[in-house]
Amino acid sequence: MAITSRGFSGRRTPADVKLPPGQYLTTDFPVLSAGPTPRTALDKWEFTIDDGTDVLRRWDWKSFRELPAETITVDIHCVTRWSKLGTTWEGVSLDTLFKGIKTDAEYAMARSYGDYTTNLPLEDLMNKQAWIAFGFDDDDLAPEHGGPARLLVPHLYLWKSAKWVRGITLMHEDQPGFWESLGYHDYGDPWKEQRYQGD
Amino acid sequence: MWRVGTVIDLHDETSTARTITLEVPDWPGHVAGQHVDVRLTAPDGYSAARSYSIASAPNSEKRVEITVERLPDGEVSPYLTQELAVGDRLELRGPIGGWFVWRTEQTEAIQLIAGGSGMAPLMAMIRSRTAFGNTAPFRLLYSVREPEAILYRDELEKLSNQDRTMMLAYAYTRVAPREWPRPPGRIDAALIAEATWPSKLGPTCYVCGPTPFVEIAASLLSACGNRSEKIKTERFGPTGGKK
């Protein structure tokens, strides 16, 4: 039973807005990163998919941007408790990037410039659930928000949407990524409030 | 999961920031740099939670201090800085976080850079170092709007006067004290060169503050040759710039 805070009434979100438990609405776009913002020149940028041994696919910026892109409008939820509704991104679906890859791996590790990593079940990246986003609000994706390109997996807490993404490694066994090995939840479903290990 | 703390002291640090001292009987201990989630609940069950850095050193008294900056349009911070009274109980969760932390076993040179109320977790590091008799060389560069906005001012002055391995430098963005050598303004490369450890010393850097401040400070540290894995950042608030 929660303790009642004497004299607190709060500022509620409108009744027609449904947020995951423990989240509040923001119209800003806060930034969370563990270190300096990496700057990768577009002519040095690449994105690869590998199986831990071999590189299965490789794109440079030009060939990546020639892939069919989609406009995605989604709600995003950060583990630090803000949610932002109706954000509009431009990106390439992971279904497009994984086309023709046959694997029995069940997990994936997203890898970033700046050495950030985050783990996800591979099925959470498939079937129109995940994109490599390069645009936000009709503009290029800003570096502090993960530009030139970031993973976007809006149905999980936003730390799973790795900024500055440079590749995905397929794994047969789940391994924790950066925040997951520092006490954050392995899966991170905002609707189940899976913030920290043990939630 | 939620622990209950009782407010045992309230202290106004500045006109907008208040330090809240809680006694938490089942507190498991913490490491400097970690944060807690604080939850408020209205009589009808509506609740709101926010994260606050712990400002106190680990201690045996099960005490946790947080410093809350009042945001004009905030939901939780006005309550914590204006309504909360000694004797009230608060729910909190934590300690949380294992990256932006300083452990008392660390012996390398430490560079702290704070912007505004980003000082709180860095204060926990400074207080831990003192409490545990650690002598790692510490250097703090603290950027504030004006002299009146400095948190923990007396304690910082006292520490840096007593301890030559704890170096302190202020930078002012809007109003500087009279005859201050540097005109008010954002931190820049010259200031970083003057007021931080040379990168060849291999310091671990902790940078905490509003997002635009941290972006600038972290990239200036990188430009001076500090390796990015040695620069740990904690950002809060909106980006400030264009979306």
Sketch the domain layout of chain A as residue ranges.
45-192
Q: Are residues B129 and B201 in the same domain?
A: yes
Task: Identify whether B102 is part of a domain.
Answer: no
Pick the last residue of a domain from B96, B126, B158: B96
Cα of B104 to nearest chain A Cα, Å: 18
Q: Are residues B68 and B116 in the same domain?
A: no
Question: Which pLDDT score, from 0 to 100, does residue A1 have?
Answer: 58
Give the DSSP letter of residue A158.
Answer: G
Task: Identify whether B180 is part of a domain.
Answer: yes
- Which is it for strands A82-93 and A150-152: parallel, antiparallel or unpaired? unpaired
pLDDT (tens digit per residue) in B98-114: 999 999 999 999 999 99
User: What does residue B233 show for φ and ψ, rounded to 5 degrees?
Assistant: -125, 150
Cα B62 from Cα B72, distance rounded (Å): 31
A36: exposed, middle or buried (Cβ count in 10 Å: 0-12, 13-18, 19+)? buried
How many angstroms from the chain centroid is the CA of residue B22?
17
pLDDT at B30 over 90: yes
Q: Are residues B58 and B132 in the same domain?
A: no
In terms of CA atoms, which chain B residue is nearest residue A182? B98
User: Is B239 in contact with B208 (CB distance < 8 Å)?
Assistant: no
Cα of A3 to nearest chain B Cα, Å: 7
CB pair distance less than 8 Å for B228 and A136: no
> Measured between beta carbons, which residues in chain B are less than 8 angstroms from residue A28?
237-239
User: Is B146 in contact with B178 (CB distance < 8 Å)?
Assistant: no
DSSP output for B48-108: EEEEEEB-SPP-TT-EEEEEEEPPTT-SSHHIIIII--TT-EEEEEEEE-SSS-B-TT--S
Q: How many CA atoms lie within 13 A of B62 on its CB side?
A: 12
Of A12, A178, A182, the CB nearest to B46: A12
Neighbours of B223 (CB within 10 A): 13
What the block records as the tokens of B183 is: 């005109």
Task: Identify whether B35 is part of a domain.
Answer: yes
CB pair distance less than 8 Å for A34 and B37: no
Query: Which stretches of chain A sit within 8 Å of chain B by CB?
Result: 2-12, 22, 24, 26, 28-38, 80-81, 114-115, 136-137, 139, 142, 144-145, 178-179, 182-183, 196, 199
Cα of B82 to nearest chain A Cα, Å: 11
Of B75, B85, B228, the CB nearest to A35: B228
- Non-local CB neighbours of A99 within 8 Å, separated by 6+ positions: none
Task: Identify whether B26 is part of a domain.
Answer: yes
Task: Identify whether B52 is part of a domain.
Answer: yes
Cα A67 from Cα A146, distance rounded (Å): 20
Q: Are residues B86 and B126 in the same domain?
A: no
Q: Are residues B88 and B133 in the same domain?
A: no
Task: Identify whether B37 is part of a domain.
Answer: yes
Of A9, A24, A35, the CB nearest to B233: A35
Question: Which pLDDT score, from 0 to 100, does residue B190 have?
Answer: 96
Question: Which pLDDT score, from 0 to 100, does residue B238 have?
Answer: 58
What's the structural domain count of chain B? 2
ipTM confidence score: 0.88
User: Has domain A45-192 been given CATH number 3.40.50.720?
Assistant: no
DSSP output for B102-136: B-TT--S-EEEEEEGGGHHHHHHHHHHHHHTT---
pLDDT (tens digit per residue) in B105-143: 999 999 999 999 999 999 999 999 999 999 999 999 999
pLDDT (tens digit per residue) in B75-97: 999 999 999 999 999 999 999 99
Question: Which pLDDT score, from 0 to 100, does residue A46 have?
Answer: 98
Q: Are residues B212 and B134 in the same domain?
A: yes
Q: Are residues B37 and B151 in the same domain?
A: no
Query: What torsion, rounded to 10 degrees, do the Cα atoms B127, B38, B143, B159 define?
Result: -10
> Measured between beta carbons, which residues in chain B are less than 8 angstroms from residue A5?
40-42, 79, 88, 90
B63-69 sheet: strands from edge to edge: B47-53, B35-41, B89-96, B3-12, B17-23, B63-69
Question: Which residue in A161, A31, A34, A28 sits closest to B212, CA to CA?
Answer: A31
What the block records as the tokens of A197 is: 């290990």
Q: Are residues B164 and B209 in the same domain?
A: yes
Of A10, A145, A182, the CB nearest to B48: A10
Mean pLDDT, residues B26-43: 96
Backbone CA torsion sign across A196, B211, B117, B75: negative
Q: Are residues B9 and B71 in the same domain?
A: yes
Question: Which residue in B65, B68, B64 sits closest to B26, CA to CA?
Answer: B64
Task: Identify whether B57 is part of a domain.
Answer: yes
> Measured between beta carbons, which residues in chain B are less than 8 angstroms from residue A115?
229
pLDDT at A16 over 80: no
Q: Are residues B85 and B200 in the same domain?
A: no
In terms of CA atoms, which chain B residue is nearest residue A34? B233
Question: Which pLDDT score, from 0 to 100, does residue B198 have?
Answer: 97
User: What does residue B111 show for φ and ψ, rounded to 5 degrees?
Assistant: -110, 120
User: Is A93 in contact with A171 (CB distance < 8 Å)?
Assistant: no
Using pLDDT thresholds of 50, 70 and 90, give the confidence band for residue A196. very high
Domain that holds residue B14: 3-96
Q: Are residues B121 and B228 in the same domain?
A: yes
In terms of CA atoms, which chain B residue is nearest residue A29? B238
pLDDT at A97 over 90: yes
> Measured between beta carbons, which residues in chain B are less than 8 angstroms from residue A8?
40-42, 79, 83
